[in-house]
Structure 1
Amino acid sequence: MTLSRRRFLQGAAAAGAAASVPFYINRALAQEQTLRIYAWAGYFSDEMLSDFTAKTGINATFTPYGTNDELMNSLRATDGSGFDVIMPTVDRVPGYVDYQLIQPLDVSRIRWEGCLDSAMSGSESGGVIDDQRYFAPSDWGTEAIAYHTRYTDIDRQNLSYGDLWKPEIGAGVTVRAHSALIGIGLWLEGQGKLPRPLLDSFRTEEAMRANFDVILEEALKHKDMVIQFWSTENEAQGAFRTNGALIGQTWDSTAFRLQSEGEPIAYGAPKEGALAWMEGFVIPRNAQNVDAVYELINWYYTPEAGAMFVESTGYNSTAVGATELLPEATRRFFTESYSQHDLDNLWWWPVQEPWYVALRNEYQDRYLSA
């Protein structure tokens, strides 16, 4: 999927049109019980929940999780019960379908004109299975290189995942284990050092093991440089804020939040391509308040709700017109972090089938325990 800065910075006219459409989906039924939201930590602020209730009359509770694996394990343990809406990344959706944990969307009940066309087309791989859409895009972001501008000498024009492992950094690196292995894989692939194309790792176990044996060997050479492994947003921020990290492979939101606190942290996409992901609304199989879920999605596809989400998380909303309502500092972070070439060169996470996730976790555990 190609994302354009122009597309994400446009939309004022469409925003007005989308905002003028009233909420109408079975509100009486939706109001009868509380909407139970299970989403990433920080994704629903008190302001957002209050606005949703004010606009729809529906009360909502928000339960946070920290990783895709935590979400999957929770739903498998309850057989798709306990919550009305979840927000996985699009590459993990086929796994939920395989385990029969989610239900297809009734696309006629969603105001798609409030969602960016690029997000709709980009979510077809993973979000549409056997001609049924399971996924309504909500946001996208990247995992790339965050670094301390005072204590690192970074050439933004030639930024690489390999910069994490320069000897002069010393013990000052923070990474998420499983995605660090992908970053190292992209670095090695760029040097012609992988036995198979990296994307083949997501297609067969044979290719995955052939590549990851090489990747893990390289990762272990530099493990003593890792000052902290992170798995959640708070941990990634803490690595820089209190634990002495100088550079890391982090989400864009990590750098955004640290910058907003006045920390001298910059964020850039490496030449191998920033790891890009998309999240969205998905309905568990045994959701009890489905009507309220459609109200939530349509509320989110308004510029005001999308802007509140961006201000809360630092990620990029798929709601048309949201960018126009953002503070200048928030828009500046986006334009300073991504050139048009960076956006054209995003490395979108492929679909991660359950077999791949199991193997990925095996190599991650070997990395962490070595």
Structure 2
Amino acid sequence: MDVVDQLNAVRSGKLSRRAFSRSLLAAGVGLAAMPLAPRRVLAAEGEQGTFFTWGGFDVPELFGSYEAKNGTLPNFSIFGGSEEALTKMRGGFVVDVAHPCNAGLNRWVASGLFQPIDTSRLSNWPDVIPELAAIEGNMSASGKPWLVPFDWGQTSITYRTDIFELEGEESWDMLWDERYAGRLGSLASGGDAWWCGAIKAGVGFDDITTDEAFEKIAAVMRAQRPLIRVYTDDTTTLEQALSSGEMAAAMTWNSSAVLLKSEDVPVRFAQPKEGALTWVCGPMIHKDAPHLDRAYDIIDSLLSVEAGQFMINDYGYGHSNQKAFDAFDDETLAGLGLSKNPVDILNAGHFMVPQSQEWETRMNETFEMIKAGF
């Protein structure tokens, strides 16, 4: 089956994105998120709800109940980062459901573009882990959540165990190790990298907004810049470089290590002694959602046990439906860096704290300058 045939198979639901990624990884072919996104050929845009999300969440495995109810998949629009998504919607782009993470929650709510969610319309809501819904800033004045928790996990270091010579414990120092200059990679978004830099700099997240903390983080990010081979939010680029041995270590999410291990690449998803970066993401409903009923269908499908089992097994991410974990034993979950009690994992790391738009703008501008060499 050639690449075009495989793309068609993914779009029709006959081939999973993970299986497609494996075949490209083995062949050394790059995969960006965008080519898999356009599924609007399956239905007219006006007939289905639209999900505005990250690449990789536009897969049939997450929308079984939506498809069963509506006869097809929802429409998808893909973004590369949550700030990009919010900017586009502020500019007038209207969708039904968008998919931010908790660090951006305050800014998304403050934009006035979203409506609280009526959880009584979600059949899977009773099975959602309560602690995930209780994230800071999530409850509206009416007592309804702005964001429905869906996926959660860690940002850490995936490294080649046969290449990277570990000295002592796993640590964020690994991504500042001068022995591997030019063989280290990083996610390009400040929403990950800057926060990981804060952990490296010893800055507590409760103090991350101070000028002193800002300068400490900027200093460690500048020190890292000459060591980084590539900054990218195309995780397949990082995965391929790790697979080939071009890179010894890279900042990634859980899913990269899961994929590489499935290909028998000798990698490990580090548990840094300083703690990993932890986060929870989920859908929000646009205030002008043109297909409100189908917006709720999208969210309910994401919350299903079936979607959760796919997320855990194929992506190595946690899921908000507690029942999704029942199909996995403790050993399997531990190997993924997960637990049947997600609070244990979230509390063991550094949980991202929502920030103001002013801070986010300053951080992003500074990080872009650092990446550019200034």
TM-score interval (norm. to shorter):
0.7 to 0.9
- Within a 5 Å distance, the mapping from 1:202-221 to structure 2 comes to 202=209, 207=210, 209-221=211-223
Change (3 A) 1:297 1:181: closer
Q: Which moved more, 1:263-272 or 1:226-235?
A: 226-235
Change (3 A) 1:322 1:55: farther
Tell me the alpha carbon deviations over residues 236-293 of structure 1, each in whole angstroms, 9 at most, x when there is no partner. 3244245711112211111112222222111022122111111111001211111112
Distance 2:354 2:67 in 1: 35
TM-score normalised over the length of structure 2: 0.77
- Name the counterpart of 1:10: none
- Name the counterpart of 1:6: none
* Contact 2:127/2:321, CA 8 A, preserved across alignment: yes
Change (3 A) 1:333 1:261: farther
- Name the counterpart of 2:11: none
State percent identity of aligned pairs: 22
Q: Does 1:169 align with 2:186?
A: no
Report how far residue 59 of structure 1 moved.
Answer: 4.6
Q: Does 1:153 align with 2:165?
A: yes
Change (3 A) 1:336 1:306: closer
Q: Which runs of 5+ in 1 are unaligned?
A: 1-31
For the residue of structure 2 that corresponds to 1:322, the secondary structure is: helix
User: 1:185 is matched with which residue: 168, 180, 198?
Assistant: 198
- Name the counterpart of 2:20: none
* Contact 1:256/1:333, CA 8 A, preserved across alignment: no
Change (3 A) 1:226 1:354: same
- Name the counterpart of 2:294: 292
- Name the counterpart of 1:115: 128
Distance 1:362 1:166 in 2: 25
Report how far residue 136 of structure 1 moved.
Answer: 0.8
Q: Does 1:363 align with 2:366?
A: yes
- Name the counterpart of 1:69: 83
User: 1:96 is matched with which residue: 87, 93, 108?
Assistant: 108
Distance 1:339 1:314 in 2: 8
Q: Does 1:256 align with 2:270?
A: no
User: 1:308 is matched with which residue: 307, 310, 331?
Assistant: 310
Report how far residue 150 of structure 1 moved.
Answer: 0.6
- Within a 5 Å distance, the mapping from 1:77-92 to structure 2 comes to 77-78=91-92, 81=94, 83-92=95-104
Report how far residue 332 of structure 1 moved.
Answer: 5.5
Q: Does 1:199 align with 2:206?
A: yes
Report how far residue 85 of structure 1 moved.
Answer: 0.7
Distance 2:106 2:267 in 1: 36
Q: Which runs of 5+ in 2 are unaligned?
A: 1-45
For the residue of structure 1 that corresponds to 2:126, the secondary structure is: helix
RMSD between aligned residues: 2.6
For the residue of structure 1 that corresponds to 2:109, the secondary structure is: helix
Distance 1:296 1:324 in 2: 23
Report how far residue 95 of structure 1 moved.
Answer: 1.0
* Contact 2:184/2:247, CA 8 A, preserved across alignment: yes
For the residue of structure 1 that corresponds to 2:229, the secondary structure is: strand
Report how far residue 300 of structure 1 moved.
Answer: 3.0
Q: How many residues align?
A: 320
Report how far residue 51 of structure 1 moved.
Answer: 4.8
* Contact 1:227/1:243, CA 8 A, preserved across alignment: no
- Name the counterpart of 1:352: 355
For the residue of structure 2 that corresponds to 1:126, the secondary structure is: coil
Q: Which moved more, 1:214-223 or 1:130-139?
A: 214-223
- Name the counterpart of 1:229: 231
* Contact 1:307/1:323, CA 8 A, preserved across alignment: yes
For the residue of structure 2 that corresponds to 1:324, the secondary structure is: helix
* Contact 1:159/1:268, CA 8 A, preserved across alignment: yes
- Name the counterpart of 2:337: 338
TM-score normalised over the length of structure 1: 0.78
> In structure 1, what residue type is equivalent to 2:206?
L
> In structure 2, what residue type is equivalent to 1:107?
T
Report how far residue 305 of structure 1 moved.
Answer: 2.5
- Name the counterpart of 1:24: none
Distance 1:64 1:333 in 2: 31
* Contact 2:278/2:346, CA 8 A, preserved across alignment: no
For the residue of structure 2 that corresponds to 1:249, the secondary structure is: strand
Change (3 A) 1:106 1:222: closer
Distance 2:280 2:365 in 1: 24
Distance 1:180 1:275 in 2: 10
Greater RCO (Cα-Cα under 8 Å, separation 6 or more): 1
